[in-house]
Amino acid sequence: MNPEQLLQKYWKELYPGVSDHQLIEFLEQLNTEKPDTASGNESDWYKDAVVYSLYVDLFNHDFDGLNNKLDYLQELGVDCLWLLPILDSPMRDAGFDIRNYDRIRADLLGLDEGFSKPEQEDIFGHFLKEAHKRDLKVIFDVAINHCSDEHPWFVEARKSEDNPYRDYYIWSKDTSKYGDARLLFKGIEDSNWESNGNDWYYYHRFFNFQPDLNYRNPEVLLEMSKNLLYWQKMGVDGFRADAIPYLWKEDGTSCENLPKTHTIVKFFRAILDYVKPGTLLLAEACQKPNEVVKYLGKGDECHAAYHFPLMPMMFKAIAAQDCAPIKNTLNPDVTPKIPGNTQWFTFLRVHDELSLELVYVSEEDRKFIHDNYCLKPEWDFRVGEGISARLSELMQRDERKIALAYSLMLTLVGSPVVYYGDEFGKLNDEKYYTEQIKLTGKDDTRFLVRGRIDWNKLEANLKDEDNFHAKVYHTIKEMLNARKQYRAFCRGLTEFIETPDLLSDNINSVLSYFRTQENVQILVINNLSEKAVKIDHPLPDHDLALLYPKGFTMDEGSNTMQLEAYGFAWFLVL
């Protein structure tokens, strides 16, 4: 089936009985703009990526400031920048409330409001050129489920029932409709419906100032496609599709993961591939792995997806000093095999809370993790469903635990995501949290994990080798650059092995595994315990080349290895 036929197939699935003349006109226009080199752009670069996520303004003011730090990022050992929301926004939800899909916020460009598109393309295009010059890919967030209530479409839509944009959103006088859809922002919002000031209500799954888009209207699908294509044409390497499980709504269902949601995602993927294959579509689907893999389809939906359940299980494993939570989560019964051209993205912390939704953790797991990591009342998010704290705070500023957590993330599976500032142990930002409450009118504790980087202060800290931030930074930088040398960390199969602690007879305090790709094999050993452990040499008949040591010693005489509390080691098997 050729690309045009594939898109027509998806169109008919979404809009049975609706003429496809709009789609045909859309494709005819695309054919006049497609680059001649489109067929040569196939790539699975995302499989080998170490991703660094950042807010441009909080990282270093604007794109000029970010340009000045590209060398820092390249030296750190990352090769893909995930720009957290950069599109025009009133900034009531950190930019996830998008006011214009084809405009970057003026402050990030260093321009006054009312700037022209050529000005935008000059500044953002220069940034893309500088990033690509350093072999740094660039992706950014697009909230495709909802927008800001200040978006021109919604401003028009709320004016009257017969406004042309009315059907871009979901309206009802009956707020019991979609009543089986759960409340995502429990403790912050009390309904998925918001009054328009008359008898009508509009539907939203997130904040009340973020109306959901209505994909039952084909014009919405085409308009969103145009927005993605605009940025693709400028040279963006991919998009993080925010909140995709909620795109299609049907009464009497949970309004999550519905079949037509997958059809919408397939349509976006096909459109991007039609113009320039290799443009990443990353699924942000906060679901169980067996549900998330559906967003990878048969290699025809998203190229990659976040492995949400692995994140809390890494925290649980460290707190419980037990490898079982990680092994159980990565068991094929829980984490299914994914198509060969797709990848998991893993993370320890992101811009949101340490999520403990019952969608993918049990009540018992949630209580255990919450009890062990929610160390202050103000870190609580969504009434126990999450913890708003930076990695360094969750690990009580213990650089050994931080390094161990990174060892797990960098070596287990998939492409890892480094959240800006975590590479030097950035702390919760109380000042920024207070500022944002005043700005948004919402007590959203996730603002604690954001905040600005003070580069002058940081650079002074990094020069002091005894400083906490310097210790974390140099450790993480060394680990990232060691990992980059071997694709087995990115693409290899994972095989767990048992390495019981000889000092305690505990079989679960040490998590060990091979990562194997073709003829390259890596051995990783992690001590999850707060005490030193000793294990037998896992491969006594093989030589091992030490790739990265942290609290590790070898006893050649007894052929045993000893790891300090929270120590770990990576080896190349010779």
Per-residue pLDDT tens over the stretch 51-96? 999 999 999 999 999 999 999 999 999 999 999 999 999 998 889 9
Say if strands 238-242 and 137-143 run parallel, antiparallel, or are unpaired.
Answer: parallel
Query: What residues have CB less than 8 Å from 424, skipping those under 6 apart?
Result: 458, 461, 462, 469, 470, 472, 473, 476
Query: Dihedrals φ, ψ of 370, to 5°?
Result: -65, -45
Per-residue pLDDT, 39? 46
Cβ neighbourhood burial of 61 (10 Å; 0-12, 13-18, 19+): middle
Active-site residue (options: 79, 284, 393, 423): 284
Say if strands 544-555 and 560-573 run parallel, antiparallel, or are unpaired.
Answer: antiparallel
Per-residue pLDDT, 287? 81
Using an 8 Å Cβ cutoff, are 397 and 345 in contact? no
The candidate with the shortest Cα–Cα distance to 437, out of 428, 447, 449, is 447
Looking at CATH, the fold of the domain delimited by 491-573 is given as Immunoglobulin-like (2.60.40)
Using an 8 Å Cβ cutoff, are 307 and 266 in contact? no
Using an 8 Å Cβ cutoff, are 143 and 95 in contact? no
In the chain, list all ranges with CATH 3.20.20.80. Answer: 310-484
Per-residue pLDDT, 38? 46
Helix 259-275 vs helix 218-234: crossing angle, to nearest 10: 40
In the chain, list all ranges with CATH 2.60.40.1180. Answer: 491-573
> What single-letter amino acid sits at 184?
L
- CA–CA dist 34, 130 (Å, integer): 24
Residues of the chain with pLDDT under 50: 37-40
Here the tokens at position 545 are 């080349």
Per-residue pLDDT, 1? 81
Cβ neighbourhood burial of 86 (10 Å; 0-12, 13-18, 19+): buried
| Three-state SS at 283 | strand
One of 3.20.20.80, 3.30.70.980, 1.10.3720.10, 3.30.1490.20 is the CATH number of 310-484, namely 3.20.20.80
How many CB atoms are closer than 10 A to CB 558?
12
Using an 8 Å Cβ cutoff, are 52 and 80 in contact? yes
Q: Judge whether 284 counts as a catalytic residue.
A: yes
- pTM summary value: 0.94
Average pLDDT, the chain: 94
- CA–CA dist 158, 465 (Å, integer): 58
Q: Residue 533: beta bridge partners? A: 563
Terminal Cα-to-Cα distance of the chain (whole angstroms):
47
Per-residue pLDDT, 285? 86
Per-residue pLDDT, 42? 56
Place of tokens 């000889």: 502
- CA–CA dist 436, 348 (Å, integer): 24
Active-site residue (options: 79, 97, 242, 353): 242
Backbone region of residue 150 per phi and psi (left: phi > 0; alpha: psi in -120 to 50; beta: other values): alpha
- CA–CA dist 435, 190 (Å, integer): 24
Query: What residues have CB less than 8 Å from 372, skipping those under 6 apart?
Result: 315, 316, 319
- CA–CA dist 414, 541 (Å, integer): 29
The candidate with the shortest Cα–Cα distance to 348, out of 393, 384, 385, 382, is 393
